């Protein structure tokens, strides 16, 4: 799998970045044709979970980018591991909780970069979720 990871991920990206459900389905069919013989379980998983995995395609492209971007989560997990890996053991569960809490506090101090096109995204959220978003 490691040999194919980059190409596999690239092909998978065609599915979740498709402009609509029809294009995503076509990309999934191409993906299946190319990878099913080698990674049947992964391909079958996409087909089994198609409705759940493609729910986000009903949103505008800008909102979708926020939904499927995991860089922030991956970065947070990496920082938590950084703070906890030096300890071989923790005396109590509370000690672990406190360490993770402090790590999150340090990480969030650096979260100052604004979301690209936030004005457009906010307007789309206001249209889609007008009953939930209240502006003053």
In sequence order, the 6+-apart residues with CB closer than 8 A to the CB of 63 are 56, 121, 124, 125, 128
Please tell me the distance from the alpha carbon of residue 68 to that of residue 27, in angstroms, as a whole number.
17
Mean predicted confidence (pLDDT) in 4-18: 89
Q: In the chain, what percentage of residues exceed pLDDT 90?
A: 30
Tokens of 126: 């206001």
**Per-residue confidence (pLDDT) for residue 3, from 0 to 100:** 87
Pick left, alpha or beta for residue 117 (phi over 0 → left; psi -120 to 50 → alpha; otherwise beta): left
Residue 68 has pLDDT above 80, yes or no: no
Q: Give the model confidence (pLDDT) of 85-133 as tens digits.
A: 877 788 899 998 998 999 898 888 877 878 888 888 888 888 888 888 7
**Per-residue confidence (pLDDT) for residue 63, from 0 to 100:** 83
Tokens of 17: 């970045």
Mean predicted confidence (pLDDT) in 39-57: 91
**Per-residue confidence (pLDDT) for residue 83, from 0 to 100:** 83
**8 near 35, Cβ under 8 Å?**
yes
Residue 34 has pLDDT above 90, yes or no: yes
Computed over every residue of the chain, the mean pLDDT equals 86
**Per-residue confidence (pLDDT) for residue 87, from 0 to 100:** 76
What's the angle, vertex CA 104, arms to CA 99 and CA 109, rounded to 5?
130
**Per-residue confidence (pLDDT) for residue 70, from 0 to 100:** 66
């Amino acid at each position: 799998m490691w040999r194919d990871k980059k190409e596999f991920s690239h092909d998978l990206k065609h599915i979740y970045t498709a402009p609509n459900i029809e294009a995503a389905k076509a990309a999934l069919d191409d993906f299946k044709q190319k990878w099913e013989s080698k990674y049947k379980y992964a391909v079958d998983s996409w087909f089994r979970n198609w409705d759940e995995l493609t729910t986000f395609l009903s949103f505008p492209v800008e909102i979708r980018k926020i939904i499927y971007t995991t860089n922030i989560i991956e970065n947070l997990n990496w920082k938590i591991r950084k703070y906890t890996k030096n300890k071989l053991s923790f005396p109590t569960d509370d000690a672990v909780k406190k360490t993770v809490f402090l790590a999150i506090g340090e990480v969030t101090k650096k979260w100052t970069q604004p979301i690209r096109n936030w004005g457009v995204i906010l307007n789309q959220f206001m249209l889609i979720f007008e009953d939930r978003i209240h502006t003053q």
